[in-house]
Structure formats: structure tokens, C-alpha cells
Structure 1
């Protein structure tokens, strides 16, 4: 939509600020991509958790997106996976004629995918992602589509990164609470100082090849102190 960029930026900022959760933000980004990007019929966000080797789709405008992501996960190939894994954008002008992804391509064609655009999302190292745009028609995307796609992808990446930072802060706070509670239990049971209690927890961590937070969590939850 030539000439509409400034209005898109303003509308996105206003729309996304009003959302209550990262899920709502991502859902709205996908919906707005369909509304604003010429040729885009459906949109979705694919995420990969590298630690757990899991794929998930936190936002999608249609079942087509979920089915496409499922096909790529089962084939272990596809444009969205490439964008996520290799941190690169992609363009498919005609899915039926594209020689890449021999397992995924026929399934995509059967789903009705005509053409696609995708943009990597820069998030934390263990999480990879892509914003994927779908059209039911070949060669459907206009000349402004790649530029606008990057705008939406940037907002999605910021939303995800913000949620990840918040989760890390919550986890860190919970860990400190558990360690503090475990130290208190050890101090009371063993009649030792705070520093000695923490040293006992750290020693147990090293001897059992277990993280300090997990040792502390077990003490806090069970009341059992290593070594009796």
C-alpha cells in the first residue's frame, strides 16, 4: 500500500500498546499483516525452542498456517524453518514451481499455498522465530510487501523479546526466593550461619552435578537437607 507507511507505524503503535499480553500482540500483528500487506491472505508466527527441540505457532490467522507449520515440522524442512534456523528472509513466488523443500512443497500446494514471504525474528539465542505471510495465489505480493513485512517482524521480535526478559526476571526472582528459603531451612536445622548454609548448598550442587537453584528448590519444597 504505497504511501501508507507513516499511518501504519502510528496505527501499529496505538494498537499494540493497548494489548494486554504478548499473545494478544502477536495475534494482532498477524491480523494487521493481512490487513495492510498487499497480496497477504494469511499470516502466522513460527517459533522454535532449540533447547527442547520444539516447534510452536503462537499466532496464526487461519488453520492453513497451523497446518503449514505442522507439515514443516514433520518434514523437518520448509521456508519458515529456514527463516528461523538460518536467520534469513525468504520469498516463494510460486510454491508449485519452487524446487526447494521436496517434502514440504507438495503438502503446501495441497493446502492451497500459492506464494509466501517470511522474515526471521531476532530473539534470544535459544528461541528462533519467523513471521510468515501466505497467499493463495502465485506471485501475489506487491512491491511494498517485503519492506512492510520487516516492519511487522520487528514489532513481533520486540514483543517476544520483552516477554522473554520478563520471564527471565520472574524466574530470577523465584530462584532467589527459593535459595533464601533453603538457606533459612539449613541454618535452622544445622544451627549454622547463613554463609555456611549457602556453602553446603553449593557443595551439594557440585557433588551431585545439579544446579544450585535445583538443590535449593528441593530443600525448600521437601525440607530435606543433603547429608541428613
Structure 2
């Protein structure tokens, strides 16, 4: 492993990740980087657990989505274990999936039939509800070496920071857009009913609570129709 060259590639990737204009673009760059930078990696993807529901993001090949779907169906697998890990530096390296029938009896034989030979999974992020892992696949058993594991861990560490920054930026953009829509809706109500700013906001809030509709969606309805009815 040429670590000097790898360091240069990682630096370029880190700059590239921060330059992406959306969360999806950031995730796609992360998984593409895994196939480019980690020796033995044929495919990569990000698995998100929403409770017991699986979401497969930025897969580089259908093999990734098929594996994620299989893990949801069986309720087990290495990506689940990596995502559920409480330690940010945790990694699961599966040298040969054919030897893992005891650990994942439902998943392992069916994943091998899909063409998975070996795997690695890295915890990507955690929050109150969702868990995620960066997962690397090879069609060959024994494809991932200790150097591959170190490279994958470094990539996952950079990816976690970039992913968090992209999500924060997206949330801020959404918050700004929401405030704008609510302000526009309040202006419409104030003009139509000669209400104060506080009274107009109370109208939106009461309608939201009474109808169990998000405040932003209520505001959008006003902006589109000119009224709540």
C-alpha cells in the first residue's frame, strides 16, 4: 500500500466532498471514492436503519441494494451489526462469507448466492433515531487486507464529517425556506383579514394543531390557495 499516494488521494477527496451541492451528491462521492481508494472493493453503499426499516443510499452497483434488501428481510447481517455499533471506530471485516453461516444463518448463504465474497462495514454516523454504515463489497473471498481495513476506516472517518456537514447545510436551507413560506402565508392572512402578525401566526398554528398538519404544509396551502379553506 502506497500510503503517501493514498494520503494525497484522501486530501483531494475531502476537498471534493465539501464541494458537493447536496446530501445525495456527497453520499455518491463517498461510495465512489470507496471503490477507487480501497483495495479489493468492487462495490460500496450506505445502509441507513430507521428503526427496523432499511434505506439503501448511493449504491455503486445493484449488488449493494440486493444485499441491503436481503438484510432487511432476514433481520441480520454485517451491515446491521456495523450500523448498530456504538463505537465510531468500529469495523466489521468479513474475509469469507461462506464461513459466516453460524453468525448470520439466514443472510450469509443467500448473500453468497448474490455474488458477495467478502465485506467490510464501518459505522458512519449515529443520532437519536437513525443509524448508518458505509459498506464495502468484494466478489472474491479474502479480498480485504489489514491495509484495506485501515484505508476504509480513514475513508469512513472523512465521510462521516462530510456527511454531517452536508446534512446540517441541508437542514439550514430547509429551515430558511420554511421561514420564508410561513412569512409569506402570514402576509396573505394579515392582508385578507386585517390581522396583526401575531394573530396571523396564531391562525396558522391553530389550524396546524387542529388538523394535525405540519405548520410548513399549512403555510404552503395558504400560499397556493390564498386561504386555508
User: Same-fold call, TM > 0.5?
Assistant: yes
Structure 2: distance between partners of 1:12 and 1:182: 42
Counterpart for residue 92 of structure 2 = 90
Q: TM-score, normalised by structure 1?
A: 0.82
Q: Taking structure 1 as reference, are residues 111 and 14 closer, same or farther at Cα in structure 2, changes over 3 Å only?
A: same
Counterpart for residue 31 of structure 1 = 32
Asked whether the equivalents of residues 26 and 59 of structure 1 are also in contact (C-alpha less than 8 Å), the reply is no
Q: Which moved more, 1:19-28 or 1:63-72?
A: 19-28
TM-superposed CA distance for 1:17, in Å, is 5.5
Structure 2: distance between partners of 1:32 and 1:193: 54
1:106 to 102, 109, 134: 109
Q: Taking structure 1 as reference, are residues 140 and 120 closer, same or farther at Cα in structure 2, changes over 3 Å only?
A: same
Q: Write the mapping of 1:1-228 to structure 2, written as runs, cut at 5 A.
A: 1=1, 3-4=3-4, 5-13=6-14, 15-16=16-17, 21-48=22-49, 50=50, 53-60=53-60, 62-87=61-86, 88-98=90-100, 99-122=102-125, 124-225=127-228
TM-superposed CA distance for 1:118, in Å, is 0.6
TM-superposed CA distance for 1:33, in Å, is 2.6
TM-superposed CA distance for 1:146, in Å, is 2.1
Q: Taking structure 1 as reference, are residues 118 and 175 closer, same or farther at Cα in structure 2, changes over 3 Å only?
A: same
What's the Cα RMSD here? 2.8
Q: TM-score, normalised by structure 2?
A: 0.82
Q: Secondary structure at the match of 2:3?
A: coil
TM-superposed CA distance for 1:126, in Å, is 4.4
Per-residue CA shift, 1:78-127, capped at 9, x if unaligned? 11122224445312122111122222111111122222111011155444
TM-superposed CA distance for 1:140, in Å, is 2.7
Q: Secondary structure at the match of 2:146?
A: coil
Unpaired segments ≥5 residues, structure 1? none
Unpaired segments ≥5 residues, structure 2? none
